[in-house]
């Protein structure tokens, strides 16, 4: 069972994010960078499947030199090898181009199962994993909270609004993770030591068969970024008793805010 | 390419999801601004009787793909049908709700058609024929204005973000004969919690955090039932195992924008504030007057939530 995990390094969710001077990107100076939380679930799930069925876990990522740290963390958790597409023309592209690049890299790799985060918590596109599956011509199941590999297939519990659907896809297949799938392990100290010696290959776009010009085509462009509107601090409701405060609140919600 | 706008509908238990009407309303606005027409697409099994409803939201045509193989959503069958229809009709814009189904379908379609996709949009504007969408990034810490090159432009709308407007459309129903093909994926089981209000579609959310002190959410559930609200939770309440993961509101949970968000015993971590910051009205109830949530709240009450919420419930009962 060869498993590939698609992984992205993103700003930690506790980060304050602000718009850079160009107005179309964010300031990256003070950010702490981590593995995208949904990709961490993907790494953990891949390791569990490998532990049960044997095989290997490969981490595939696109990023600059600093993304090496995220891949090493995944290797320290227990993944076997890493591949980083480090090419200026590959970094910071929109979700569809990112999926094309990942699919091109995957075509030269051996995989039975691909696991990806449902979204990266920076771009919030919910698009890359599913689009990669389409480019590879394999089935995908998104938003998975439970996965079980059986004979030549993967059974997944997918979350939908108000419920769950159990689906089965023949391998090779791709699924994307949802919170609740597992609790990712921490890298152990011996794991961190071992990770330093694990193979981590760096590739350019031409290494994976993409020529300049291949990535031109439809795209999404950010033309402006703004912080969300500041919420003006509101009104504190005072009163002698909980009853009095509750009555004032309900009155305000009904008469001023008109929401109940 | 035509100037047709195609709105893809979604139904559950024989009823359209609210986001379907939001997608049609936005589709109508785009069609009117670009001198085009609006077609609604209904997919499913035995869904013919639903089609009539859609003319009232401005659909000029209602296209119905009624097929047993479309009874439950599967990526393959749905992508085959919608992809073939788009080849046939060449719409300029495709509008869809960014639900679990809509996100999956739109992402797969974008790759199938080599078409640009803007996911989870909260606003759409057209200026001089130039379409610009607004979508949150970084869990809502940033709003990005995005333009798309390529056709069709696929716009997936965040539920609850777009105003529903009724408009007269002809609503002429056409049935489609498109083969969904063979699905590689088998649906083994489907479980729906009946009567549960979905967080991302709720008008009102009552949410509990660490201040709940345990898994007994009955004070919150009683108020939520009375208001027809959904129950949410902060990450710490979920991490404690008090509530299911599916209830989590925040940057790594669900991003919500209800009319009213009642945060009970939630201090207001940055990830939580990002996930509910676009709510229209926010109420915070917390014992700690220094809790960061108060800076974002329209109304704040400093008190014990276990005392205040039952009083709010009584008060709502009294006025209803």
Contact A165 B191 (CB under 8 A): yes
User: How close A196 comes to chain B (CA, Å)?
Assistant: 30
CB-count burial class (<10 Å; 0-12, 13-18, 19+) for B147: middle
CA B232 – CA A166 distance, rounded (Å): 24
Residue B191 in domain = no
Q: Kindly list the residues from chain B whose CB atom is less than 8 angstroms away from the CB atom of residue A225.
A: 137, 142-145
Contact B299 A253 (CB under 8 A): yes
Of B80, B20, B76, B85, residue with least CA distance to B47: B20
Please name the fold of domain A2-208: Rossmann fold (3.40.50)
CA A26 – CA A29 distance, rounded (Å): 9
Is B208 in the same domain as B311? Answer: yes
Q: Give tens-digit pLDDT for B19-37.
A: 999 999 999 999 999 999 9
Q: Look at residue B1 in the predicted model and tell me its pLDDT.
A: 57
Is B161 in the same domain as B207? Answer: no
Q: Are A144 and A178 in contact (CB under 8 A)?
A: yes
Is B162 in the same domain as B26? Answer: yes
Q: Are B202 and B258 in contact (CB under 8 A)?
A: yes
Q: Which two tokens stand for residue A245?
A: 């405060």
**Domain at B234, CATH number:** 3.40.50.1220
Backbone angles phi, psi at B158, to 5 degrees: -65, 130
**Domain at B140, CATH number:** 3.40.50.620
Is B155 in the same domain as B249? Answer: no
Nearest by CB: B100 against A143, A234, A247: A143
Q: Are A260 and A254 in contact (CB under 8 A)?
A: yes
Residue B187 in domain = no
Residue B151 in domain = yes
Residue B14 in domain = yes
Q: Give tens-digit pLDDT for B260-300.
A: 999 999 999 999 999 999 999 999 999 999 999 999 999 99
Q: In whole numbers, what is the pLDDT of chain A averaged over residues?
A: 96
Is B37 in the same domain as B134? Answer: yes
Confidence of residue B124 (pLDDT cuts 50, 70, 90): very high
Residue of A116, A124, A223 to mutate for B, most B C-beta atoms under 10 A: A124
Residue B184 in domain = no
Pairing mode, strands A163-170 and B186-192: antiparallel
ipTM, interface predicted TM-score of the complex: 0.96
Q: Are B120 and B111 in contact (CB under 8 A)?
A: no
Q: Are B118 and A220 in contact (CB under 8 A)?
A: yes
Residue B12 in domain = yes
Is B210 in the same domain as B163? Answer: no
Q: Which chain B residues in 90-109 lie under 8 Å from chain A, judged by CB atoms?
A: 98-101, 103-104, 106-108
Residue B182 in domain = no
Residue B295 in domain = yes
Is B80 in the same domain as B145? Answer: yes
Spatial neighbors of B236 by CB under 8 A, at least 6 apart, are: B209, B210, B269
Provide the number of structural domains found in chain B.
Answer: 2
Confidence of residue B58 (pLDDT cuts 50, 70, 90): very high
Query: Domain limits at B95?
Result: 5-175
Strand order in the sheet with B130-137: A219-226, B142-149, B130-137, B123-127
Q: Give tens-digit pLDDT for A47-87.
A: 999 999 999 999 999 999 999 999 999 999 999 999 999 99
Q: Look at residue B252 in the predicted model and tell me its pLDDT.
A: 87
Confidence of residue A139 (pLDDT cuts 50, 70, 90): very high
Is B169 in the same domain as B208? Answer: no
Contact A237 B300 (CB under 8 A): yes
Domain end call among B175, B191, B225: B175
Domain end call among B127, B159, B175: B175
């Amino acid at each position: 069972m060869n498993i590939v995990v698609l992984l992205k390094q993103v700003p930690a969710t506790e980060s304050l994010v602000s718009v850079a001077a160009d107005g179309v990107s964010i300031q990256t100076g003070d950010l702490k960078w981590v593995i995208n939380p949904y990709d961490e679930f993907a790494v953990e799930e891949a390791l569990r499947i490998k532990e049960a069925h044997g095989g290997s876990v490969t981490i595939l990522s696109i990023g600059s030199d600093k993304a090496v740290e995220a891949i090493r963390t995944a290797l320290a958790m227990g993944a076997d090898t890493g591949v980083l597409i480090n090419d200026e023309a590959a970094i910071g592209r929109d979700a569809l181009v990112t999926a094309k690049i990942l699919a091109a890299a995957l075509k030269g790799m051996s995989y039975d199962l691909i696991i990806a985060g449902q979204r990266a918590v920076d771009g919030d596109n919910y698009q890359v994993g599913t689009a990669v599956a389409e480019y590879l011509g394999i089935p995908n199941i998104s938003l998975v909270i439970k996965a079980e590999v059986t004979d030549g297939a993967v059974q997944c519990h997918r979350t939908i609004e108000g419920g769950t659907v159990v689906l089965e896809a023949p391998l090779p297949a791709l699924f994307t993770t949802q919170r609740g799938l597992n609790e990712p392990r921490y890298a152990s100290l011996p794991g961190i030591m071992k990770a330093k010696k694990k193979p981590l290959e760096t590739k350019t776009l031409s290494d994976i068969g993409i020529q300049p010009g291949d990535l031109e085509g439809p795209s999404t462009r950010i033309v402006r970024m703004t912080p969300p509107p500041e919420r003006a601090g509101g009104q504190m409701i005072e009163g002698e008793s909980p009853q009095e405060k509750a009555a004032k609140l309900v009155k305000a919600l009904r008469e001023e805010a008109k929401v109940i | 390419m035509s100037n047709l706008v195609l709105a893809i509908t979604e139904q559950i238990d024989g009823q359209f999801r609210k986001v379907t009407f939001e997608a049609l309303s936005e589709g109508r606005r785009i069609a009117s601004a670009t001198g085009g027409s609006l077609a609604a697409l209904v997919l499913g099994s035995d869904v013919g009787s639903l089609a009539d409803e859609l003319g009232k939201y401005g659909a000029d045509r209602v296209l119905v793909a009624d097929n047993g193989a479309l009874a439950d959503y599967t990526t393959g069958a749905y992508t085959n049908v919608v992809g073939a229809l788009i080849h046939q009709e060449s719409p300029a814009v495709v509008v869809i709700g960014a639900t679990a189904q809509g996100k999956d379908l739109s992402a797969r379609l974008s790759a199938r058609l080599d078409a640009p996709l803007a996911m989870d949009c909260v606003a759409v504007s057209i200026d001089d024929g130039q379409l610009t969408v607004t979508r949150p990034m970084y869990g809502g810490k940033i709003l990005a204005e995005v333009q798309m090159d390529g056709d069709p432009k696929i716009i997936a709308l965040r539920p609850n973000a777009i105003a529903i407007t009724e408009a007269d459309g002809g609503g002429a129903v056409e049935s489609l004969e498109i083969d969904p093909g063979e699905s590689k994926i088998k649906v083994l089981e489907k479980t729906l919690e009946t009567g549960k209000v979905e967080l991302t579609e709720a008008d009102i959310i009552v949410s509990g955090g660490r201040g709940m002190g345990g898994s007994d959410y009955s004070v919150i559930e009683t108020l939520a039932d009375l208001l027809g609200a959904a129950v949410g939770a902060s990450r710490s309440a979920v991490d404690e195992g008090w509530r299911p993961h599916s209830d989590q509101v925040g940057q790594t949970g669900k991003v919500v924008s209800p009319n009213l968000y009642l945060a009970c015993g939630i201090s207001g971590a940055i990830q939580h504030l990002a996930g509910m910051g676009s709510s229209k009205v926010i109420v915070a109830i917390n014992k700690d007057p220094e809790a960061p949530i108060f800076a974002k709240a329209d109304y704040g009450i400093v008190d014990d939530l276990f005392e205040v919420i039952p009083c709010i419930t009584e008060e709502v009962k009294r006025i209803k």
